Amino acid sequence: MKRTEPGRWVRRRVLARGFGMAGEAGTAAMLAACGVGAASTTSRQLTKETVSLSVGYPWTDAYDRFDDAAAAFHQKYPNLKVERLAFEGVYNDKMFAMFAGGTAPDMMAANNDVVPDFVKPGMFVVLDTLMRRDNRDIKDYHPFAVRIYQWQGKQYLLPDSLNMTVLFVNKTLFDERGLKLPPADFRSAEWTFDNLLETGKLLTRRQGDRPVWGFYISDWIGRWFPFLWGRGGQPMDDMWAPKKWTFDAQQSVDTLQYLQDLIWKQGIQGNMNETTGQNSFSNLFLRGQLAMAVEVMSQNTLFQGVREFEWQVLPVPRGPAGRFNRMAGAGLGIGTQTKHDQESWEFVKFLTGPEAPTRAGAVSYLSPNKIKMNSPEFMNMLPGKGKQVILDTLEYARLQPLHERWKKIDDTVIRPELKPVFLNERSPREGVKIVTDKAQAILAQP
């Protein structure tokens, strides 16, 4: 369940089993009647009994870091032991099933785009009162990272890690062609969509047994959001409180036309049949056959062992409306079915705060905690100005619409209906119309 597969963080597959609108309302009413959803705030007293705290935490590429934190927490509180749940299958579905059966873990991790799916059935404790009681200052975190775990004005999780879109470049290929690298400063007016196209043409070598592609980007909207936003487009009218579908605009058509042309007209990117399996994005980059790619920061851990060429992490290109990157996050919250809310809260604070150990070397995430993100040992394996590039992404970050039906629209409409556009089997305008009609039908459902 790594976070490196484009758009396929396994936990993202949310199937709202048993949680239709009627089920959500009934569950919420039941929880309210039982007083569930708010932790005790009158006492900070932790139990002196030996307690095992269970955590749903699906990200295999972060297990070492999590286990380090759990061990350090146990050393601080010898009677409290934190254990990751072992499970098979799709993480979100497993959490929903456990909650429906009354056996949800004490704590659960979740990505920011599924917060509404977890919150509406009443699965997470509201943290605001606990934060006020313990003077947990949200200023300890970057404000963007805190806000992505709020729903309807309430805080349900604290941010644990962040992952964002960046531009990976093969510096050696640039040097061999005598080309200047894109700027590391996101404020620069240089490095536009047009610059990317022209540079990609100069870097592409399709002849011979070892072709070199100039560029790669996934067909999933989670990766090409920067190109849509850079043209002033949006799938919905507001990312924090979306109400209206706005994807049916010329900016959406222009974005998809640009991306389709990179493959089928300009030829700087291989088509989906040419960039899969042994020729996947990561394999091509590792073999030195890919000059540039827009992907997530976590991919950097795959490239740390490369010695045959130099590579760097740089900002994504900018469009007429500006430069934007898509930010995603992993957060941790307290489950409403826990019998150990105070002890769980103590670990949530520990994991997401400066006390949790930080491993030097390659990391697959950005810590949202300001002290940790600025520590000298954090992200110190990134080449060039990579660390500053990653830190800067918080200044021009956006996220997908925080709407309870966004995941359904993304999984069942955007992905399948726009795939033919990237295969050159459907025009961008037709793709936008089909997506719009189906998305609006989902949004109109009671």
pLDDT digits (tens, 9 = 90+) for 102-157: 999 999 999 988 999 999 999 999 999 999 998 887 788 888 888 999 999 999 99
Assigned domain for 1 exists: no
418 shares a domain with 277:
yes
Per-residue pLDDT band at 38 (split at 50, 70, 90): low
Assigned domain for 384 exists: yes
pLDDT per position as a tens digit, 161-206: 999 999 999 999 999 999 999 999 999 999 999 999 999 999 999 8
Assigned domain for 4 exists: no
Per-residue pLDDT band at 374 (split at 50, 70, 90): confident
Assigned domain for 232 exists: yes
Of 37-41, 58-62, 248-252, 343-347, the least confident: 37-41
What pTM was estimated for this model as a whole?
0.86
30 shares a domain with 148:
yes
pLDDT of residue 41: 52
178 shares a domain with 137:
no
CA atoms within 13 A on the CB side of 67: 8
Label the pairing between strands 292-296 and 216-217.
Answer: parallel
Per-residue pLDDT band at 36 (split at 50, 70, 90): very low
288 shares a domain with 386:
no
Q: Cα(253)–Cα(442) distance, rounded to whole angstroms?
A: 21
155 shares a domain with 44:
yes
pLDDT per position as a tens digit, 58-94: 988 888 889 999 999 999 999 999 999 987 789 999 9
Stretch 350-362: mean pLDDT, rounded? 81
Q: What percent of the chain has pLDDT over 70?
A: 89
- Mean predicted lDDT score pLDDT of the chain: 88
Q: Which of 175, 133, 171, 125 is nearest to 336 (CA)?
A: 125
Query: Please, which residues have CB within 8 angstroms of residue 278's CB and are 6 or more apart in sequence?
Result: none
Assigned domain for 57 exists: yes
pLDDT of residue 209: 81
Per-residue pLDDT band at 278 (split at 50, 70, 90): confident
Per-residue pLDDT band at 387 (split at 50, 70, 90): very high
195 shares a domain with 281:
yes
322 shares a domain with 223:
yes
Assigned domain for 234 exists: yes
Total domains, the chain: 2
Per-residue pLDDT band at 35 (split at 50, 70, 90): very low
- Take residue 391 and report the two structure tokens written for it: 């830190």
132 shares a domain with 88:
yes
282 shares a domain with 177:
yes
Which CATH number belongs to the domain containing residue 152 in this structure? 3.40.190.10
Q: DSSP alpha helices (H): ranges in 265-303? A: 281-286, 300-303
Single residue among 363, 379, 398 that ends a domain in this structure: 398
Q: What angle do CA 425, 426, 427 make, to 5 degrees?
A: 135
Q: Which domain holds residue 381?
A: 10-163+328-398
150 shares a domain with 67:
yes
Q: What percent of the chain has pLDDT over 90?
A: 70
Single residue among 398, 414, 433 that ends a domain in this structure: 398
Stretch 223-250: mean pLDDT, rounded? 97
123 shares a domain with 214:
no
Assigned domain for 2 exists: no
pLDDT per position as a tens digit, 301-322: 899 989 999 999 999 999 999 9
pLDDT of residue 442: 98
Report, in this order, helix, strand and coil percent for the chain, each rounded to 5: 40, 15, 40
- Take residue 53 and report the two structure tokens written for it: 């705290």
**In a 3-state reduction of DSSP, which class is residue 295?**
strand
336 in Cβ contact with 124 (< 8 Å): yes
Assigned domain for 292 exists: yes
pLDDT of residue 137: 76
406 shares a domain with 370:
no
